[in-house]
């Protein structure tokens, strides 16, 4: 009910290889320092393979680590060290794809298209995210749910205990209800932190769907 969650951008946190870019191994080196600060959980911003054009949220592959930031073994070592010190690990989970994500070719029907047939990129006026393709969850709800559950299962087995869900209120509530029920059936200890700041009705619906808590930027 009460905890300190510390957000880390791995690419700018600590460069452990002298390459001008931070890595997951660099975060691992500083876990003891974060523990001394009184941190209870470390939330890693996206470190998936990405073009990094939109801060890492333009995801190329949900099931791996960007080689510029490390390897899956580096991430597992990070989780193991965090757990040794009693810290939780939160993964930033943003269900949206870059134009290079394999889903774009394998499941083009999972994305919204413009009248000219091209895939629509994300917009939050006046902002335009031309390197992000938002998913159309209503196109194949069952298929997208199954793939999401597989992705979450992979990261839980690697050591993740919390999913910080990016903008859950812009996806169908039914989607979260189904996915969270399936994931927590296998991993009941998993928490879901919502990045949701919207109307009370939607906030209530997200809590009923299984999202544990929510946070906002401008309370």
Q: Catalytic amino acids?
A: 166, 195
**Strand partners of residue 6:** 42
Q: What is the DSSP string of the chain?
A: ----EEEE-HHHH--SSSSSS--HHHHHHTHHHHHHHT-SEEEEPP-SSB--TTTT-SBS-TTS--TTT--HHHHHHHHHHHHHTT-EEEEEE--EE-TTSHHHHH-GGGB-B-TTSPBPPEEETTEEETT-EEB-TTTSHHHHHHHHHHHHHHHHHHT--EEEEESGGGS-HHHHHHHHHHHHHH-TT-EEEEE----HHHHHHHHHHT--EEE-S--
């Amino acid at each position: 009910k009460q905890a300190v969650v510390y957000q880390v951008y791995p690419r700018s946190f600590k460069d452990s290889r002298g390459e001008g870019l931070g890595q997951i191994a660099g975060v691992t080196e500083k876990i003891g320092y974060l523990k001394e600060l009184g941190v209870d959980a470390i939330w890693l911003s996206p470190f998936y393979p990405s073009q990094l054009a939109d801060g890492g949220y333009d995801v190329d592959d949900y099931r791996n680590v960007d080689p510029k930031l490390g390897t899956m073994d580096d991430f597992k070592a990070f989780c193991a060290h965090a757990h040794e010190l009693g810290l939780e690990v939160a993964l930033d989970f943003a269900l949206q794809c870059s134009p290079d994500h394999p889903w774009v070719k394998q499941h083009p029907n999972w994305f919204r298209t413009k009248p000219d047939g091209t895939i629509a990129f994300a917009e939050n006026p006046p902002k335009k995210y031309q390197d992000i393709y938002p998913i159309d969850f209503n196109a194949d709800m069952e298929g997208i749910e199954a793939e999401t559950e597989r992705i979450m299962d992979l990261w839980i087995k690697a050591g993740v205990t919390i999913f910080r869900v990016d903008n859950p209120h812009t996806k169908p509530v039914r989607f979260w209800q189904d996915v969270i029920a399936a994931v927590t059936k296998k991993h009941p200890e998993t928490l879901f932190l919502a990045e949701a700041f919207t109307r009370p009705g939607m906030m209530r619906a997200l809590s009923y769907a299984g999202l544990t808590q929510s946070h906002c930027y401008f309370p």
